Structure 1
Amino acid sequence: MRASAWRSAIVASAAALVLAACGGGEVPRSDDGGDGVLNLGYVLPETGPLAAFGPAQIESVRLAVEDINDAGGVLTQPIPEVVGADEGGTARSAAQAADRVLSLGVDAVIGASASEASLSVIDSVTGAGVLQCSGSNTASALRDHPDSGLYFRTAPDDTLQAKVLSKLVTEDDNERVGIVARGDDYGTGLLDATSKELKAAGAGVVLGETYEPGTKDFDRLARQLRDADVDAVVLASFDEGAALLRAMIGAGVGPQQVDVYGADGLRRAELASEVSPDDPGVLAGMKGTAPAVADDEYAERLRKFAPDLVDLQYGAQVFDCVTVVALAAQAAQTDDPIVFAAEVGRVTTGGEKCGSFAECKRLLDQGTDIDYDGVSGPLDFVERGEPGKAMYAVYGFDPSGTLRTERTEQASTSN
């Protein structure tokens, strides 16, 4: 059924609020609130704990814009060069980056990458009447955060990842599970969702601990895992996960002694060598889950476009963010984010399926409703502005410590 009123009431009220809040210094717009050119910016990590994921996301923005412009642009105009700023590793640096991008008069901001960073900028971005789309925010805390109908994410909520992660743990017949997570919205959200799924499947969660994101010494946590007599450990970490894994190995609860599982933050090609440069095989057998690249052709295209990339994590989801934003503006026939935000859900569900901006634009030009299935998989946005289903990669480290994708699985809000 066509969601013809999808978020429209929220967006309409947002328009009134933004108009009331804006002074005399806003970017000049036409009578419909747009200036005829879709301007994009990004707030993505070049430094900080997610810096390893930044290059793939930034290059995916650029590749998406190239595809869009090759297909004639949006509203017959090419998207200008995308302006960006470094998200960094703190709420303050993310907020400063967002302010810089907003000052340049963008219609949409791609990012931030970390959920915690988005929580620090969402009010300023959406409060300025600018649309925000993240390809890697997974924290459940963003689900109900007030956003005036202007915040979207192509990365699925961690309640979906928890379904696949817990299935992976229970398939290996583990009964005494320890979960260790960053003490931020990402970590605590994934800890809570995974714990709930594991308990529902009959597994015992004998330890659930969080740590401050800046922690460097994990010996105490490693000893706690050992003393809890776990047969499996689930980790929700970012780059500090390498130090945590070293401490676990030293305490006798590494991948050679118990089953160890990671999530999206640990799906990095360099992880094994970061844990042990001399013996990366110490991670052999470790498994995990992360949002997948559903389109193999896209992964090849991105590597050709940016040959120096090592990790592609979340590149596909960011590509889809840019494409969905452009399709929404094209469908609405305006670059005014207050107006085209209402089209974001409509272009991802209920219409004729299409898999690229060029293909979808042709259908829109013919007056056909579309359902963009992205390079990250089907999106099928639900009313709160996020995918209702998602593809996940089940990854693992082989005896040499090399990261491998073992299979993919789909999860949805309905299962």
Structure 2
Amino acid sequence: MSSEHQSVPRDAAQQTVPGDVSGTAVPTGTPQGRAVGVGFQTSLALAFFGTYLALLPLAQVTLALKIGQIDPEGRAGSLSLVLGVGSFVALVAQNVFGALSDRTTSRFGMRRPWLAAGAVLGAGSLFLLSGASTIPVVLAGWSLIQLTFNVLLAALNPVLPDQVPRRQLGRVSGLIGLTQSVAAVGGVFLAKLFLPDLTKAILIPGIFTLACVGLLLVVLKDRTRARADVPPFQLSLFLKAFWTDPRKAPDFALAWWSRLFVFFGNMTLSGYAVFFLQDRFGFDQSTIGDAILRTTLVTTVCVVLTSLLVGRFSDRIGRRKVFVMISALVLALAHVMAALSPTFDVYVLATAVAGLAQGTYIAVDAALLAEVLPSRADVGKDMGVLHLANVLPQTLVPVVAPLFLAIGTGGENYTALFIGGAVVGIVGAVLNQFIKSIR
């Protein structure tokens, strides 16, 4: 593959945008140039896959099992603490390093140095969590993982709007969305292979992260930025760049709030699945891997099929918002089914319905967001701001969840938690319908 770099386009439409730290005209708009080929699409998808392969089994299975092993009596509270602090770290890291990548003038490109650093440090950070024997060490380990992997994601997320023309956004974003589901299956399968050895279950996926991101580093024709085009660093302006005035960029603000509520709803179901299955259906550490693998496989099949169909159909008809609303309503149904499930088989059916909803959402979400970015010159920063909507629910749900779980006197009330999450997700989909620049 050629190693030449892709420079920031000089012929793009110019305008001054809110939040630009330089106060000067900057290029805006999604690239309209040459279509990206199968090789690039594959390498980008694999980079996301390798990243999620290490993160998702931690969030879905092994982190909860690690905490349950150390603190069996207070596991729900400890998990909320660890998830909450870790997601706050992720929130800060994503924005800071996304903005820094926008200012990077390395001859290797704007994103490539951060991709390499995030992958290497992220894989290394898994060692601290794997050897933890106390909750404070688990907290430190998970926070370090969130920091380093969000360095990686802060550089990886802007590659889509950096490189992919508008006419391909739906299909490429759908492909990227699939990687999260496929990685969830692969990660849970790896965890199942090594459980009850939590050390191997945590460490082995990091090898795949290094290999997959390494391939993208070779293939990527990264954007470059001349040092003269980067304004002098000023902390006050840099901090202001994390805020976009909703009066000047209303569609960007609506997309942000919509994603925040939708992800909040998702988190209520996925974040506490291990403890729910153990409490409701009696799974233990030796059998929970099989249960999670089964539900993840079912979910992934539904996500893959739906995402492929909806992504292409969305590009063809030029509509995004209607699919967001459909996905939220179907996901709400899945939450209710899960909350009321009398048997594990019914719960598996609920995860299938959730997969249909998630596949519909991820097929259009990244494409929609790429079309409402305020500035092409600050893609990394803007994607970091949008990523706050992914990460904040991981902070907010652990804070709110104990309130729902404490409702009533019959133990932890997962029914209240799941149904509450469904309502919040629908609110997010309704907000999405008010975006004016997207059909």
> What is the TM-score normalised by the length of structure 2?
0.25
Bigger helix share:
2
Bigger strand share:
1
Indicate the structure whose relative CO is greater, using CA pairs within 8 Å and at least 6 residues apart: 2
